[in-house]
């Protein structure tokens, strides 16, 4: 398994466990295990995306602040630590508040996503997983009726992963925001 993420491993382990239980004719145990496995997979996926996007924000602050420890500290304390779930409007499945964090640069990000169907689909999948994650953890995990199979959770993860990876790359791109800065920079007087 080269280039496997922790989510790929959780998914594969769940599939193997299901196969073993089915082969042992442990039908009721397999059904119960699958119900829990898909919740674990969904929660793992949401947690992985939070980790990756927080990591991307730390890299963003390092790249664009020229490693300035003061700027990195402010961003880490006020924008990253315990702030991830405020970046998005999970209830309405909207990333608008995330893009607004970056001002005009965020408008450019939003336009780039809108222009590429696979990114727009990935954004939608990411927001869907985040919204379900919130319901799962706040509405009695043990009794929550997750209406997705493990295969559906994994397929949604794969679509969302494209978006999350793109956001990370976009944020560390040295050209990020350069067009906006050039357009708003004061003109030199001749």
Distances (CA, A) of 106 to 38, 40, 177: 33, 32, 9
Comparing C-alpha atoms, which of 46, 65, 50 is closest to residue 133? Answer: 46
What is the per-residue pLDDT for 68? 84
Mind listing the pLDDT tens digit for each residue in 39-72? 999 999 999 999 999 999 999 988 888 888 888 8
* Cα 7 from Cα 161, distance rounded (Å): 10
| 8 Å CB contact between 18 and 30 | yes
Mind listing the pLDDT tens digit for each residue in 72-83? 888 888 889 889
Mind listing the pLDDT tens digit for each residue in 122-133? 999 999 999 999
Per-residue pLDDT band for 190 (boundaries 50, 70, 90) equals very low
Say if residue 7's pLDDT is above 90: yes
Helices (H) and strands (E) in the chain, counts: 8, 0
* Cα 165 from Cα 141, distance rounded (Å): 28
Q: Sketch the domain layout of the chain as residue ranges.
A: 7-176
Mean pLDDT of all residues in 25-29: 90
What is the per-residue pLDDT for 181? 47
Say if residue 114's pLDDT is above 90: yes
What is the per-residue pLDDT for 129? 98
Residue 187 burial by Cβ neighbours in a 10 Å radius (0-12, 13-18, 19+): exposed
Pair of tokens at residue 112: 């780039």
What is the per-residue pLDDT for 82? 87
What is the per-residue pLDDT for 176? 81
Residue owning tokens 């073993």: 20
* Cα 35 from Cα 14, distance rounded (Å): 11
Mind listing the pLDDT tens digit for each residue in 142-189? 999 999 999 999 999 999 999 999 999 999 888 886 654 444 445 545
């Amino acid at each position: 398994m080269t280039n496997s993420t922790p989510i790929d491993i959780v998914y594969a382990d769940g599939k193997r466990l299901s196969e073993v239980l089915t082969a042992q004719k442990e039908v009721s145990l397999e059904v119960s295990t699958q119900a829990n496995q898909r919740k674990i997979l969904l929660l793992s996926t949401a947690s992985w995306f939070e980790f990756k996007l927080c990591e991307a924000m730390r890299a963003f602050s390092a790249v664009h602040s020229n490693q300035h420890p003061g700027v990195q500290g402010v961003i880490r304390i006020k924008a990253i630590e315990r702030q991830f779930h405020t970046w998005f409007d999970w209830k309405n499945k909207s990333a608008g508040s995330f893009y607004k964090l970056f001002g005009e640069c965020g408008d450019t990000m939003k336009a780039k996503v809108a222009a590429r169907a696979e990114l727009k689909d990935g954004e939608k999948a990411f927001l869907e997983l985040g919204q379900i994650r919130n319901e799962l953890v706040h509405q009695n995990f043990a009794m929550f009726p997750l209406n997705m199979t493990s295969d559906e959770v994994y397929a949604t993860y794969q679509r969302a992963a494209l978006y999350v990876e793109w956001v990370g790359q976009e944020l560390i791109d040295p050209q990020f925001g350069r067009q906006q800065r050039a357009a708003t920079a004061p003109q030199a007087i001749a």
